[in-house]
Every structure is written in structure tokens, then in C-alpha cells.
Amino acid sequence: MHEKLRRAGIADLLPDEAVGGRPARRIDATAVVVPGTHPVDEYAGRLSAAAGAFSDWDGRVVVLPPDGAPQHRVVVVDRYGQVYATFDGDESDLPDVDALEDWFRFLAIACPECGVIDDPVGRGWVP
């Protein structure tokens, strides 16, 4: 599944297995953290501490084991498994707690009939 997450781009549809399964309610947006060559324990700890704030917006974080890639990756996926954002780089390049909460807020109130917005980041429509 790491490979699918590494190649995922905006508007791609990911299977449930790629985002750590789905809770029974199936309304949660997910930020999947794919560490590169080493674990991201401090980053994951900050995200874990914010789990309550994320769940207020039906958001959750799944941290996978390192896959050996040169960079870390975070993929933000809506409740349907569609990718809304990807972030690659060192820990300092990954979205912080506030940025992920903004994504979860946006996805919680997004109109499901509208589908994935074309170039949501480039057009300034999302966090």
C-alpha cells in the first residue's frame, strides 16, 4: 500500500486498505503519514495529541511504518477515499496540527455532491 500512497495525486481514489481501513461510520477524513527512511515519532506524537481536535471535524491520522523512501509523505483523503492534498519532504515540510485541522474542517463541511475540486490548493479554495 505504501506504493499507492507514494504515487497518489490530487483526485485519485484510494482503496480503504491504503488509508488504514475505514471506521464503521465511514465519515472520517484521513491524513495518512508515510515516513521515509526513519520514523517520525515527534511529529506523530504531536498529531496523536491533537486527535480530539481532529475528531471534532471527523478527522483521523494513520501513521504507517517507514518505507525507506528518501522523503516523508502525508496524504489527505476525504471520506470517500479521494485525495485532496499531498505533502512530501522532511518533517518540517509536513503539515502541522493546525494545517491538518484546517483540512479536516474543510472536508467535514465540503459538499459531497460537488466531488473533488480541480486544483483546490492552486486556486486558494482550501487550507
Mean residue pLDDT across the chain: 86
Name the amino acid, one letter, at 27. I
The span from the CA of 38 to the CA of 59, in Å, is 25
pTM score: 0.84
Which strand ranges, in their side-by-side order, compose the sheet holding 29-34? 59-63, 29-34, 72-77, 83-89
Per-residue pLDDT tens digits for 104-120: 999 888 766 665 555 55
How do residues 19-71 score in pLDDT, each as one tens digit? 777 665 667 899 999 999 999 999 999 999 999 999 999 999 999 999 999 99
Domains of the chain plus CATH, in order, are 2-114 (3.40.30.10)
Confidence of residue 83 (pLDDT cuts 50, 70, 90): very high
Do 69 and 6 form a contact (C-beta atoms < 8 A)?
yes
How far apart, in whole angstroms, are the C-alpha atoms of residue 58 and residue 8?
Answer: 22
Within 13 Å of residue 69, how many CA atoms lie on the same side as its CB?
20
Q: Angle at Cα 81 formed by Cα 76 and Cα 82, nearest 5°? A: 65
